[in-house]
Amino acid sequence: MPLRVSGDEKMHDIGDRCQRFSEGKRAALPLVCESSHFILSSGTARATRAVVESRAMNVAQLRQEYMRSGLSEQDAGADPLRLFSAWLEDAVRAGLPLPNAMTLATVTPEGAPDARIVLLKGLEHGGFAFYTNYSSRKARQLAARPAACLVFQWSELERQVRIEGGVEKVSAADSDAYFSSRPLGARLSAWASEQSATVASRQVLESAMQEARKRHGDSPPRPAHWGGYRVLAHRMEFWQGRADRLHDRLLYTRADAGWKIERLAP
């Protein structure tokens, strides 16, 4: 039987982290990373007692030096949407997982921040489009206060982009076009899932999915409660990691006829 070690321990040399003291018993216990606690078993009738010592990971010591690139005003150019498109293409070419994943931050009716990861599905009309259920928690927040902040992070490229702006719904035609491009299962689940609502069990969702499949077959139409939003940027900040924590930060702010660009201290 294995000695199981928390997933956090993978961050370190297990040989330096764990020490087994047996009482003269011979037992080969392989290490398996699993949950947040230690489980020890000898696999014999007479269990071998063991003591496993673990030091908590010191997150303050997790550091990385940024050396890949720099970002000058001249190279960045006057149009932040063009620069964003180039950075997104770099992330795609680099083979990064989910290069279009972004943090979407909204505000609750009480004024508290709220955030989740969504996927960018369009860069058009000067805005960043994503799709969701119009009855979801984030949609209710956007209805009350149509403003949001987006954050993209491409750690392997040592880059981050932060976007602030107002939010509007995309047209029904745009929502229809995107919905029809989704896999069948995703289209059916838009009918089956009342997003953000409490459900009694997984079986409730499975049953709703079966009902949607029976009802709509292979051609489910877009539900009226499902569609897209577009974040219309008025501030865009580009962050490029640099050595000695002297990072490059360029802030674009909407001006009358274009964008004003400023450099921020890291």
Tens digits of residue pLDDT in 5-23:
344 433 333 333 333 333 3
In a domain, 64, yes or no: no
Over residues 207-265, the pLDDT tens digits come to: 999 999 999 999 999 999 999 999 999 999 999 999 888 899 999 999 988 999 999 99
Residues 78 and 209 in one domain: yes
Quote the number of domains for the chain.
2
Cα dist from 141 to 168, 171, 223, whole Å:
13, 19, 20
Residue 82 has pLDDT above 90, yes or no: yes
Give the structural domain span for 179.
73-263
Q: Average pLDDT for residues 119-133, to the nearest whole number? A: 94
Q: Average pLDDT for residues 27-51, to the nearest whole number? A: 40
In a domain, 65, yes or no: no
Torsion of CA 63, 153, 14, 57, to 10 degrees: 50
Residues 225 and 146 in one domain: yes
Residues 92 and 155 in one domain: yes
Residues 22 and 86 in one domain: no
Residues 6+ apart with CB under 8 A from 114: 105, 106, 107, 108, 137, 138, 141
In a domain, 66, yes or no: no
Q: What's the whole-model pTM score?
A: 0.73
Residue 176 has pLDDT above 80, yes or no: yes
Residues 30 and 84 in one domain: no
Residue 69 has pLDDT above 50, yes or no: yes
Residues 209 and 175 in one domain: yes
Tell me if residue 245 is catalytic. Answer: yes
Give the C-alpha separation, 161 to 156, whole Å. Answer: 14
Residues 48 and 166 in one domain: no
Q: Average pLDDT for residues 171-186, to the nearest whole number? A: 96
Candidate list 49, 82, 245, 263, residue with the active-site label: 245
Residues 6+ apart with CB under 8 A from 256: none
Residues 41 and 15 in one domain: yes
Residues 16 and 91 in one domain: no
Residues 199 and 254 in one domain: yes
